[in-house]
Each structure stands twice: as C-alpha cells, then as structure tokens.
Chain A
Amino acid sequence: MSNSNEKLVEVRHLKKYFKVSKGLLHAVDDVSFYINRGETLGLVGESGCGKSTTGRTLIRLLEADGGEVNFHGENILSLDKKQMKKFRENVQMVFQDPYSCLNPRLSVFDLIAEPLTNMEEYRRDKKKLDARVRELMDVAGLSRRLINVYPHELDGGRRQRVGIARALSVNPEFIVLDEPVSALDVCIQAQIINLLKRLQQELNLTYLFISHDLSVVKHISNRIGVMYLGKIVELSDYQTIFASPRHPYTKALLSAIPIPKVGIDRDQIILSGDVPSPVNLPGGCRFAGRCPYVTERCRQEEPKLEHVGGNQFVACHLAEENK
C-alpha cells in the first residue's frame, strides 16, 4: 500500500499536558512515531489514552508542551502564522462527530468551500470556487442536488462525506482522521471506509487514522500504534499486531473484541478494575495496576518503547526480556 520510504511526518517526544484542579493531566506523554508518504498509521486505544489529543496537537489545533513534529523535515511546532497558513493547505483533519463538526447555519456549499475561501485564487474567482466544490462533492460521493442543503437535513453518512470533501478541498498531502466512522451505522461505515481507502490510493494521501475500533483500524492501516494513558505501548505493522501482540494491554484489547461468529471458544483476558486517571500518575509502568503479569520492576521502573524484532516496538519489561 505504501509506495515510498519517505518519512512525511515524524513525531518526536510529543507532550501535551492539561492543568486540572487535581494536578497535571498527562494527556500525551512523550510520544514518538513516523508515517511514510502514502501510508496509514492507525492509532488505537480506549477513552483517555490520548490518541485524539495526539492528533490535534500534531496539527496544532492544540499547542504542544514539548517535542517536535516534523513535516517534510521541518518542525511545524515552531512555524509562525504565515507559515502555518501554508501548512494548513497541506494538512487537514476529518472529525469524529458528523453531527457537531459542521456549522449548522452553513449550507453544504459553504461548508465545503470554507478552506478554499482562505486562499486568494478562490476568493477572487467565484466560478472557480463553485466548480471546485461540485467536483469535490462528486469525489466524496455526494449528490450535487444537495449543494444548498443544511447539515440537519442530512444523515450521519452524508454529513461525514461533507467533512471529507471539505478536508480534500485544498489538496492536502496528509489527513488526520479522528474516529471518522465511529458515529456511523455498520453499513454506512463500510461505505465511508471504502471511500477513504479509494481516495488514499487515487490521491496518494497519507493518513493518521485514530480509532478505538481495532477491526476498522486493521482494515485500513499499514502500521498500528496502541496507546495507553498517554503513551504508545506497542507499535507494529498491522499483521504482527494481530498475529503476535507482545504487550499485555494489546493482548487484552484484542481478546475483548467480540467476534461475530458462533461456536468459538477462546480465553478472554478480562482486565480487572478501571482505567486509572491520567492525572498524577504513579511511577513505573502505567499499566501495572491492571496487568495480569505485573512484577515489582514494573511498579518501579517505566518501560521504554523498544525494538523487539522486525517491525515491532513494545514498551514492556517482560516483552523485552523475552526477546
């Protein structure tokens, strides 16, 4: 699926913290990864793991507290306003909730045209703008009849197509997709996933695909990163993650997914307890409190993301030992 080894996006030691009344919330805590051009990196995890925050901090919708984000080799976290404008034409985002990511007072035309109206050439030439919007509607699979319709008159799937058309309008190279299909019914989900895949192939797009749904992520990603409480605990290509997960959390996550087949007997790893709060974390491995294989070392020392062979990286003392 990927046709190059050019690192389009490289994230190094990205940090994002939030001050809350009880202390400091480590939403994204020293996260590093890269994405090759034309590739899809899937970022999975449950609520509170920091995947959405990572996505937003990556494109500076939130200001990072540390680290670098290199796009085409240039650190975008230090760009000024003018340079950021150019960046915004190269990197776009598709949001999760099709019911809240569209301004209810704007028509489909206005919504799709928005990123374009920030560009000189489209501000001056109304005809060009109109033609481009219609073209985008075709690309996203929206009937042109709907051009003057308002979001509340559309169903979730069509609204998401509007969001996709909007993101594609400026011909971006890289798109961050934050749970783009989670709010959609299964059948519509399939349509949108197919659309995203096709667009990636046709337009040579690079995706960061954020989701909590592993089966969806597997279907569309080349490589997958698993996040837990602000850190990446496992990073590997999609086949390896599913065939031989090394981190206990990944294993538990995989075994928790209900399988739509009868007559399967499998050992489900049921984790005890809840996800701890990402505020004022204890030292040591963040998964120690729920890990079925926890040792004393795990509670004291935080494991680093290490290479364990092939394309696989794991942050776990036990996985490291069993290399």
Chain B
Amino acid sequence: MGEQNLLDIKNLSVEYKTEDGIVYAVNELNMEIGHKETLGFVGETGAGKTTTAMTIMGLLPTPPGKVTSGEILFDGRDMLKIGDKERRGILGEEISIIFQDPMTSLNPSMKVGDQIVEMIRLHKTISKKDAMEEADRLLEMVGIRRERANDYPHQFSGGMKQRVVIAIALACQPKLIIADEPTTALDVTIQAQVMNLIKGFKEKLGTSMILITHDLGIVAEICDKVAIMYAGQVVEYADVEGIYLNPCHPYTKGLFNSIPKLDTEEEWLEEIHGLPPEPTERIEGCSFSPRCPNCMKICKHKKPGITYIDDRHYVRCFLYENQEVKADE
C-alpha cells in the first residue's frame, strides 16, 4: 500500500431529525480515495451519496443534520474537527464541488467570467486583471470562447452552463473534485462532450475525483475505483475491473442485471423485488436482506462486517465471510 490516501473516511455516520423520525442517512461508511484517482460513488436515490458529499465539504445543515460518529481525513486533516476559517480556505481551493443542476448553481445576475474571477480571488492574492486573464484561459480549457466571459448564465445552454461550473471548480486547481451527478440533467450527446472534457482535464491536472452517479456506464468510462452504496453504507468497494468483472454483493449484481443491455437481447429485465428501505426504518440485520435473493438466516439478525475478497476489493455480505477465513488459513 504505502502511499497515503488523499481522502480517508472512517466509520462515518450521519443522521437527520425530521418530522417523521430520525433518518439514518449514512451508517458506518468507510471509503478512501488516493491521489490522482477517480472514485465512482454509485447508488440509487436516498442511498446517502449526496449526504456524504455534503458532510465531506462541511456543508451539511446542522440542524437538522448531525454527524454521530467517524472521521473524514483529507490530506491528514480531520474535516469534521477543523474550524470554519480553515475549512473556508480548503473549500474551493483544495476541494471543489460540481452540482447536478447547472441552472441553479450559477448566479443568474452575474457575468460568467466574474463568477470564475470571484472564485480565483477568494483563494489567491492576485490582481483583477490577472484573474480575468486566468478566467479566460479556463473558459477556453473547457471549450468556451473567451469572448463569452461577458455573457450571463441564461445565455448559455445546459451543457455549456455545466462547462462553466466545471471551469469554476477547476479555477484553483483543487486536489479533489466532488461531482454530484454532473451529467444527469444533460442530453446524451452533450453528456458525452462533458465526460470527454472531464477525462481530459483529469489527466492534465492530476485531480482526484469523486463521481456521484447512478449510471454504471459513466462509471465504467471514467472511474478507477467504485463504491456501491445502499441504505447509507458502502456494500461493495473495488477497483473498476473488480466491480464489473466480479461483482460480489447481491445488490451490485442486481443493479447490473436491471440495466437494459444494448448488446444482448433479453425478454425480461431482472428485477430486484421490493423497494429500498424507508429512510427512517432501522432494519434488523443486513439492510438488503428483505430484498436479497440469497438471504440466509444470519442475514436477518446480524449486520455483515467488511470482508476482503482481495486487497483491492471488499464486500459487506455474509455470503463471503467464510471465504476470507479460508484465505487466512
């Protein structure tokens, strides 16, 4: 192993107080991402991906949110324990975020160029002229003509707005970018353009990225590692080949089987029966057990711990617990 991870999340638990009870959004989450690595963070609505992202950034509204356990080590510092001033220095400069909806993440009454400049000058002491030059350069890097720096967001299409958002995120050359479903709201051909762009600058700048998505196709294209999330926990974590060639967790397998495939013909899609648990529900045993086709007796009473399939692939599932024991022998 050796090299220290850029981001290390250990046993993170986050809950929300709502009218209907306590929502256990994140439950003992473990995740890591190294330098220059892209992690795909996959899960369905309500799995807790966005809550995790918000907690990493310290943007979780507290109340009603509350971190009840765990630590988030970014480059050695615990993001949960640092003060506001230190956090403000990190956000935007070392960690940036790209939100899903470009319509609402840009200020509609500010010129696009000015928004990039604002980000730059927040973190670097640099003259306005130099900052504007830098902003123009960034716009070109994301494929927008520099003359458009004087336009307002409403004058851009959805895809171009998202490129502007990416330019802002890149402005201070962060070590880590968190992209929350960055292309979900875009058309397929525009999505391809934006993904291409992201691939390009990733290689050029060596930025790490957490890509939150439900699209397994995008993950295959761009990610090095994958974390599959269900009911607030990472149920499977591996590098991308591991997940696609050897998916272990029944939920992961179910996800893959649910996608209509372009290259094969199938009469019926395989369904995972039932629905994800209500956010306020506390299930005894494994949270996937009510829906799992391989559910065993022990799954209903005990929560599975982390089992390592090999040193780059772990799973939370009793089906594999014995295997690890065998590997140790």
Q: Tell me the A residues contacting B by CB distance below 8 Å.
A: 46-47, 155-157, 185-191, 193-194, 197, 212, 214-216, 218-219, 242, 252-253, 255-264, 268, 270-271, 274-275
With a cutoff of 8 Å between Cβ atoms, the chain A residues found around residue B258 in the complex are 186-187, 189-190
Of residues A157, A186, A191, A262, which shows the largest number of chain B Cβ atoms within 10 Å of its Cβ? Answer: A186
Query: Is A257's CB under 8 angstroms from B188's CB?
Result: yes
The minimal Cβ–Cβ distance linking B213 to chain A, given in whole angstroms, is 10
With A212-B188, A274-B159 given, is the CB distance from A258 to B217 under 8 Å? yes
Convert B31-43 into 0s and 1s, putting 1 for each residue whose CB lies closer than 8 angstroms to a CB of A.
0000000000000
* Contact of B44 with A by CB under 8 A: yes
**Residues of chain B with a CB closer than 8 A to A270's CB:** 192-193, 196
Which of B137-193 touch A at CB < 8 Å?
A: 157, 159-160, 187-193
Question: What 3 pairs between A and B have smallest CB-CB spacing?
Answer: A258-B217, A256-B192, A46-B187
The number of residues on chain B lying at the interface, defined by a beta carbon within 8 Å of a beta carbon of chain A, is 44
CB contact list, B279-306 vs A, under 8 A? none
* B156, chain A: closest CB distance, angstroms: 9
B79 in the interface, Cβ–Cβ < 8 Å?
no
Query: Contact between B221 and A274 (Cβ–Cβ < 8 Å)?
Result: no
The 8 Å CB contact of A253, one of B188, B241, B244, B245, is B188
Contacts of B195 in A (CB 8 A): 258
Nearest-CB distance from A155 to chain B (Å)? Answer: 6
In the complex formed, the residue of B with least CB distance to A263 is B241
Please, which residues of chain B bring their CB within 8 A of the CB of A188?
275
Question: A158 to chain B: closest CB distance in Å?
Answer: 8
- Cβ contacts under 8 Å, A216 to chain B: 260
**Assembled-state Cα–Cα distance A193/B269 (Å):** 8
Query: Which residues on the A side are within 8 Å of B241 (C-beta)?
Result: 262-263
Could you tell me if B187 and A275 are in contact, using CB atoms closer than 8 angstroms? yes
Q: Which residue of B lies closest to A274 (CB)?
A: B157
Please, what's the 1-or-0 string for B197-225, where 1 marks a CB less than 8 Å from any CB in chain A?
00000000000000000111111110000
Please state if B245 and A186 are interface contacts (CB–CB under 8 Å). no
CA distance A1 to B249 in the complex (A): 35
Given contacts A185-B45, A262-B245, A263-B241, contact A219 B221 (CB under 8 A): no
Chain A residues whose C-beta falls within 8 Å of the C-beta of B54 in the assembled complex: none
Report Cα–Cα, A45/B18, bound state, in Å. 40
Check if B189 sits within 8 Å of A252, measured CB to CB: yes
Q: Roughly how many angstroms separate A262 CA and B267 CA in the complex, as a whole number?
A: 24
Which of B190, B215, B273 meets A274, CB within 8 Å? B190
